Structure 1
């Protein structure tokens, strides 16, 4: 999968690094993402058409801050260079510009930038354009031979005189930068990159990559949840692994209503020849109910999850476990480059006794949906809302998990989902979360005082789950949801959460 790579993306640990790779693929160009030391080794044997330096949570002035790869041609003679956020600051710092942390020019979130429309990086971009920024440091004086090509409250982009070394202070890869894709396409044009990526090619590459590792005799365990990721992965691997692919699903007790039925149907659609369903609700509830801390719940879920899979690996004499882990999961678990950990994911970073394969590790949810379409999987699969591995255990928030509380959330989730389907809103919502909050309060039902539960409804819209926007339900639907949910004798309040990501994550826990 690394042959003829045109773009090297040097990963400095930004939450958005893999989004750069995703956006390049959207534009039809393959890229490789490597941390600094590996990028340095790669550059010894490869000459890309361009190098992109990612953002980071580091400051160039921090002790131990990562620097440029030693093999990087910082003059831009061999290939074009684009520094994004930290990448721009690092270029400016190394080329003897001035990078500081000015109090008045820290940008976090939406911003407006004025660009030099004559510069080829901003061809067909509006003179004033909306961008997404996230930086404390800023370039306040350019290196010798560089010019400013965009401004916000300070220097927002820079270029050397022959347009071979470029820097952007904001994030063009994030969808909130409205013309970010145009900017990156302009960079690809300047780099003379050819289109070389499509879903069918990727499917064949994944099959080839797995077969090269697995060889011809080994059994492979696949963690199957029935979601779009594991269903698509099973569909890709079933033709090449056949009966050696053993799909294991765990009924954790945290499924939504009818989830198990859908899981079995999706396994059939994926061509799975061997599906094993393990019932383990009692074990999961017993372990997870010991804490109300979200991160601890995830960790306790992982313990039971791994224990069950280790038994199946031993039972079926498997040499590999393969999972539908996405780039988003790896980013949030802090496993890409030096990315700061946001939350633990149940299938990332486990110490297995066998080799652990993650063929979707560089892909985002929308890309897996494209693969599912290309594989002719049913619409019910590729349009399916995401659902976290620990399931409804993460939707009982701030109060100990119990079988009764899980049942209440199951019923509430189905109620809200049915209303959304009734009004044809499913296509507008990327993910729906219905959670029970550990906030009991006083209410009145039938002229009697009651003391009951509160529910939170959170619907979001997103392309990649790296950033999300809250979905605002029409008032009529809000009222219908509240009315339907509060008919339950133990529910007295319903809250709606539209907080974007960042600062909130998609799930409450």
Structure 2
């Protein structure tokens, strides 16, 4: 086991994910975790994350310097590297020029960290401070033109630090570097697999729930479906899946979800048709965060009402995954947007406890868990769909007419992507009904109708993403079909923004 100490960076769980990809079990703990707790865990290694603070500022996140004397290998990343330097007597200063983006670095292959890494390799830099001078005993093992100390080591104590992010895909040999730390430095055994995660989680859930009743918030998407099946394997008929059709689903989706969970899985399934209830609450609401919080609260209220019909229900299960948590700003990260099942929960929830078995997993890990659980590939690789549904893909206020327009446009888009054989190579794709209306001409007559934006990204972890390069002829066909077949749409745009700076969803 390796632990990641979180100093407030956006990529803390991504580091853990990369470690798990190397078949080493990993957990993320806050930077203020006590020394006694760390000794109790006795990890094979510790990784310090990046963070937005400067180590020399008052109140900056720190750790007990005695941590470096425990004999446990430590890898510091960006802020973590600077903190190690600062606490051990080196000098960290404000960089004359912030370094951000792809950078070529030269590495010393005699370092265990860079075993079998190309002497010249591409890394992803993101820092405003730099190491002016390493602490006593440390040597420089990597540098770039603009960063003379890009990596350091004190090999006799197994202390390592890098000024770049090996966990992101933009660092070409980052996984190899992490693998070297885990196996060459920490001497991990590498016996952790996704199947062991699902087995352990089912065992934990069985012990936690006991003979109590469980209600699962089932949207029919990948995350909630995997959570539902996992709970079902743990407690069987003690689980009731509540599927809330809020009228903001994709075209035909409510019927498809009902068919899958009544015919393919042996679970108690209840469909609640609550369209009018949600429409009424959302009338006149255009601010994205307000939409999300209204939907989150209304979801919970529906679940509470259904639970009362069942009897005493102690636990509510949700398919929350880590990108939901990190974007909602829980812990030390900045708030990007609230997710209906995380930051959007009301203050009072009438359940003993909320269980989120997938909370520490990324989307691709959730899919692996789904396959391990025997869920059909068709459902496991279904397009991701946010809990608030089309409410956050309609910019501005929400009306039944707008919902119908977007459902039809999105259906055509997804149908054509599947026909072109691109549905498995694109991480996520969907249509957005913008609040923009513009002049067009159809049948020799003037129109003044909506603009639909198409979004498609390639990604594995949904923390970073690049726009998908869909061939022009396919985009042209999609545009032509939507404009001709969907009323009140006369213009199509394609979003070519990455994440960052944008998020994948528009709201």
1:279 aligns with 2:266: no
Instruction: Give the gaps of 5 or more residues in structure 1.
Output: 1-5
1:203 aligns with 2:198: yes
Give the counterpart of 1:125 among 103, 117, 120. 117
Q: Which residue of 1 aligns with 2:158?
A: 164
Alignment of 1:304-319 (within 5 A): 304-316=298-310, 317-319=312-314
Return the alpha-carbon distance in structure 1 between the equivalents of residues 275 and 246 of structure 2: 5
Return the alpha-carbon distance in structure 1 between the equivalents of residues 417 and 497 of structure 2: 20
| Structure-2 change in CA distance of 1:448 and 1:58 (3 Å) | same
Per-residue CA distance 1:375-425 (angstroms, 9 max, x = gap): 22211111111000001111111x211110011000000111111111111
Return the alpha-carbon distance in structure 2 between the equivalents of residues 435 and 289 of structure 1: 19
1:446 aligns with 2:443: yes
| Structure-2 change in CA distance of 1:69 and 1:381 (3 Å) | farther
**Counterpart secondary structure, 2:24:** coil
Q: Which residue of 2 aligns with 1:192?
A: 187
Return the alpha-carbon distance in structure 2 between the equivalents of residues 92 and 412 of structure 1: 55
| Structure-2 change in CA distance of 1:309 and 1:71 (3 Å) | farther
| Structure-2 change in CA distance of 1:369 and 1:65 (3 Å) | same
Q: Which residue of 1 aligns with 2:87?
A: 94
Q: Which residue of 1 aligns with 2:63?
A: 68
Q: Which residue of 1 aligns with 2:505?
A: 507
**Counterpart secondary structure, 1:486:** helix
Q: Which residue of 2 aligns with 1:290?
A: 284
1:464 aligns with 2:464: no
Give the counterpart of 2:75 among 72, 82, 94. 82
Worse-superposed segment, 365-374 or 264-273:
264-273
**Could you tell me how far 1:240 is from its partner in structure 2?**
2.6
RMSD after superposition: 1.6
1:362 aligns with 2:355: no
Worse-superposed segment, 228-237 or 424-433:
228-237
Give the counterpart of 1:378 among 369, 372, 376. 376
Give the counterpart of 1:484 among 475, 481, 491. 481
Return the alpha-carbon distance in structure 2 between the equivalents of residues 71 and 262 of structure 1: 57
Tell me if structure 2 keeps the 8 A contact 1:44–1:71. Answer: no
| Structure-2 change in CA distance of 1:137 and 1:270 (3 Å) | farther
Return the alpha-carbon distance in structure 2 between the equivalents of residues 265 and 69 of structure 1: 55
Return the alpha-carbon distance in structure 2 between the equivalents of residues 273 and 463 of structure 1: 30
Instruction: Give the gaps of 5 or more residues in structure 2.
Output: none
Return the alpha-carbon distance in structure 2 between the equivalents of residues 276 and 192 of structure 1: 50
Return the alpha-carbon distance in structure 2 between the equivalents of residues 282 and 244 of structure 1: 30
1:242 aligns with 2:236: yes
Per-residue CA distance 1:69-96 (angstroms, 9 max, x = gap): 4651x14x51100001111111111112
Return the alpha-carbon distance in structure 2 between the equivalents of residues 113 and 403 of structure 1: 55
Q: Which residue of 2 aligns with 1:3?
A: none
Tell me if structure 1 keeps the 8 A contact 2:65–2:87. Answer: no
Per-residue CA distance 1:95-120 (angstroms, 9 max, x = gap): 1222122232x233332222222222
Return the alpha-carbon distance in structure 1 between the equivalents of residues 201 and 216 of structure 2: 15
Q: Which residue of 2 aligns with 1:109?
A: 101
| Structure-2 change in CA distance of 1:71 and 1:237 (3 Å) | farther
**Counterpart secondary structure, 1:136:** strand
**Counterpart secondary structure, 2:175:** helix
**Could you tell me how far 1:41 is from its partner in structure 2?**
4.3
Q: Which residue of 1 aligns with 2:9?
A: 14
Per-residue CA distance 1:244-274 (angstroms, 9 max, x = gap): 1010110011100121122123324662420
Q: Which residue of 1 aligns with 2:491?
A: 493
Return the alpha-carbon distance in structure 2 between the equivalents of residues 118 and 432 of structure 1: 45
| Structure-2 change in CA distance of 1:116 and 1:440 (3 Å) | same
Return the alpha-carbon distance in structure 2 between the equivalents of residues 461 and 39 of structure 1: 39
**Could you tell me how far 1:170 is from its partner in structure 2?**
1.2
**Could you tell me how far 1:39 is from its partner in structure 2?**
5.0
Tell me if structure 1 keeps the 8 A contact 2:262–2:269. Answer: no
Give the TM-score normalised by the residue count of structure 1. 0.94
**Could you tell me how far 1:280 is from its partner in structure 2?**
1.2
Give the TM-score normalised by the residue count of structure 2. 0.95
Tell me if structure 1 keeps the 8 A contact 2:123–2:172. Answer: yes
1:429 aligns with 2:410: no
| Structure-2 change in CA distance of 1:40 and 1:301 (3 Å) | farther
| Structure-2 change in CA distance of 1:71 and 1:32 (3 Å) | farther
Tell me if structure 1 keeps the 8 A contact 2:77–2:165. Answer: yes
Return the alpha-carbon distance in structure 2 between the equivalents of residues 241 and 20 of structure 1: 32
Return the alpha-carbon distance in structure 2 between the equivalents of residues 269 and 66 of structure 1: 52
Return the alpha-carbon distance in structure 2 between the equivalents of residues 39 and 297 of structure 1: 40
